[in-house]
Amino acid sequence: MTTAQSPVDLGVEPTPLALLLLGREADPRSERGVECPGDLPSPSDPDLVERARAAKEKLGDKVFVLGHHYQRDEVIQFADVTGDSFKLAKDAAAKPEAEYIVFCGVHFMAESADILTSDDQKVVLPDLAAGCSMADMATAEQVAECWDVLTEAGIAEQVVPVSYMNSSADIKAFTGKHGGTICTSSNAKRALDWAFEQGEKVLFLPDQHLGRNTAVRDMGLSLDDCVLYNPHKPNGGLTVEELRNAKMILWRGHCSVHGRFSLDSVNDVRERIPGVNVLVHPECKHEVVAAADHVGSTEYIIKTLEAAPAGSKWAIGTELNLVRRVANAHPDKEVVFLDKTVCFCSTMNRIDLPHLVWALESLAEGNLVNRIEVDKETESFAKLALERMLALP
Ligand code: SF4
């Protein structure tokens, strides 16, 4: 596990201020909850690393710290396990002796961990304001309204919802209730294959790009088979005919990090680095994915770099903390960031060492802070959707 910030130069410039501000304030309407109630240690406290280590040691097997791939190195060094959101939730469930699951990630991930772990395990998010802008783009009210639109168009019975893991517990529960499944970026094609066996159309939530890329790139559907449902417009901005003709109804959501990569970024890097392999995440826009050499989930990106020959050149289009860690792990390969500006996930980045120290010390003193708890009814329907994913062929 990496413990220090990287010496690797990925050739990126500072993030525009607006992007940094994205994760600044808590929004009570957002899935990310409210500001921390805590009395946080100062970021300049020189003993933060020692304090985190001492609190974790005091808690022993009672605590299990999960670190998402996009987390900062200063936090990742304390993770008992790293991975994507689904892997981490499963890892937590496989550790029933851990009473406290400290999730260094964002709100929807902590919810998923709570859904999959036992009632005795308590999931803690060190900063309650760590949400996901993509998950925020589909609220329970908007999705219920969309279902009404589909019902009025006379097609709801033909539609199977498929929701990306990056969605709130409410959206997962909606999916379970209406016969649908959850998917990750690794199994999206299998989820869509399954869904098209159950019905004629798919409502894909909340990431339009993952839905479109999987349908067109992996399943041979055309762009004309896909329509975009805009929750901010009456009837999603679509006519009844458009809805009836569509095979894929894509929710108008996207990841603010992966959505920043453009075709220009791909063309530019190919010009700068002849022979470069462009490797991107399927949350990127369709034209970026179509122009890339390799497309896949975070785990796929890590494995592809592991298997790549020494001396090969790679431009990677995903979150910067991960790219930096991958670059550090492979000094024998040339690894650059696909875009010229920095793309951190600003909300993921909220989990810093002061928040982690505060959470661990509070737990060590017997104070359960920042617990993420999904209500029983939501949990049971969300679990149904997750179990359908686990049962995918
Ligand atoms: S990288 Fe994108 S999808 Fe992932 S948590 Fe950040 S905003 Fe959400």
3-state SS, residue 28: coil
* 138-187: pLDDT as tens digits: 999 999 999 999 999 999 999 999 999 999 999 999 999 999 999 999 99
49, with CB counted inside 10 A (0-12, 13-18, 19+), is middle
Supply the pLDDT for residue 348.
87
Protein residue closest via CA to atom 3 of ligand 1: 255
Dist CA 73 CA 169 (whole Å) = 28
Supply the pLDDT for residue 15.
42
Q: Is the pLDDT of residue 85 over 50?
A: yes
CA of 283 to the centre of ligand 1 (A): 9
3-state SS, residue 198: helix
Point out the least confidently predicted range of 8-17, 23-32, 66-75.
23-32
What does pTM read for this prediction? 0.89
- Phi, psi values for residue 376, rounded to 5°: -60, -45
Res. 22 pLDDT band, cuts 50 70 90: very low
Strands 371-372 and 122-124: antiparallel
Supply the pLDDT for residue 33.
55
Supply the pLDDT for residue 344.
80
CA of 136 to the centre of ligand 1 (A): 10
Strands 313-317 and 334-337: parallel
Dist CA 144 CA 392 (whole Å) = 26
Residues 169 and 111 sit within 8 Å (Cβ to Cβ): yes
Protein residue closest via CA to atom 1 of ligand 1: 345
Q: How many CB atoms lie within 10 A of CB 141?
A: 10
Residues 288 and 265 sit within 8 Å (Cβ to Cβ): yes
Supply the pLDDT for residue 6.
41
Supply the pLDDT for residue 5.
37
Q: What is the mean pLDDT of residues 11-18?
A: 47
* 190-210: pLDDT as tens digits: 999 999 999 999 999 999 999
Q: What is the mean pLDDT of residues 43-65?
A: 97
Supply the pLDDT for residue 315.
97
Q: Is the pLDDT of residue 16 over 80?
A: no
CA of 137 to the centre of ligand 1 (A): 11
Res. 72 pLDDT band, cuts 50 70 90: very high
Res. 36 pLDDT band, cuts 50 70 90: low
Point out the least confidently predicted range of 91-95, 122-126, 251-255, 330-334.
91-95
- Phi, psi values for residue 304, rounded to 5°: -60, -40
* 89-117: pLDDT as tens digits: 889 989 999 999 999 999 999 999 999 99
CA of 295 to the centre of ligand 1 (A): 17
Query: Would the CB of 109 count as within 6 Å of ligand 1?
Result: no
Query: Would the CB of 319 count as within 6 Å of ligand 1?
Result: yes
How high is the mean pLDDT of the chain? 91
CA angle (173 as vertex; 218, 94 as ends), nearest 5? 80
Q: How would you list the strands of the sheet with 313-317, edge to edge?
A: 294-295, 277-280, 313-317, 334-337
CA of 197 to the centre of ligand 1 (A): 30
Q: Which residue has the higher pLDDT, 223 or 92?
A: 223
> Which ligand 1 atom sits nearest the alpha carbon of residue 109?
5
Q: How far is CA 189 from CA 2, 211, 218, in A?
A: 32, 9, 7
Nearest-Å Rg of the Cα atoms of the chain is: 21
Question: How is 185-224 classified by DSSP, letter by letter?
Answer: TTTHHHHHHHHHHH-SEEEEES-HHHHHHIIIIIT---GG
Dist CA 199 CA 148 (whole Å) = 18
CA 324 to chain centre: 18
CA of 259 to the centre of ligand 1 (A): 10
**Two structure tokens written together for 44:** 């300049």
Query: Would the CB of 166 count as within 6 Å of ligand 1?
Result: yes
Q: Which residue has the tokens 């946080």?
A: 40
Res. 13 pLDDT band, cuts 50 70 90: low
Pick the closest to residue 204 from 232, 226, 233 (CA basis). Answer: 226
Query: Would the CB of 106 count as within 6 Å of ligand 1?
Result: yes
Residues 290 and 217 sit within 8 Å (Cβ to Cβ): yes
CA of 106 to the centre of ligand 1 (A): 8
Pick the closest to residue 140 from 130, 129, 148 (CA basis). Answer: 148
Instruction: Enumerate domains of the chain plus CATH numbers.
Output: 31-134+347-375 (3.40.50.10800), 138-253 (3.40.50.10800), 258-337 (3.40.50.10800)
Res. 35 pLDDT band, cuts 50 70 90: low
* 311-344: pLDDT as tens digits: 999 999 999 989 999 999 999 999 999 998 767 8
Supply the pLDDT for residue 197.
98
Q: Is the pLDDT of residue 39 over 90?
A: no
**Two structure tokens written together for 35:** 């500001």
Q: What is the mean pLDDT of residues 240-252?
A: 98
* 364-386: pLDDT as tens digits: 999 999 999 999 999 999 999 99
Protein residue closest via CA to atom 6 of ligand 1: 345
Residues 110 and 359 sit within 8 Å (Cβ to Cβ): no
> Which ligand 1 atom sits nearest the alpha carbon of residue 132?
8
Query: Would the CB of 132 count as within 6 Å of ligand 1?
Result: yes
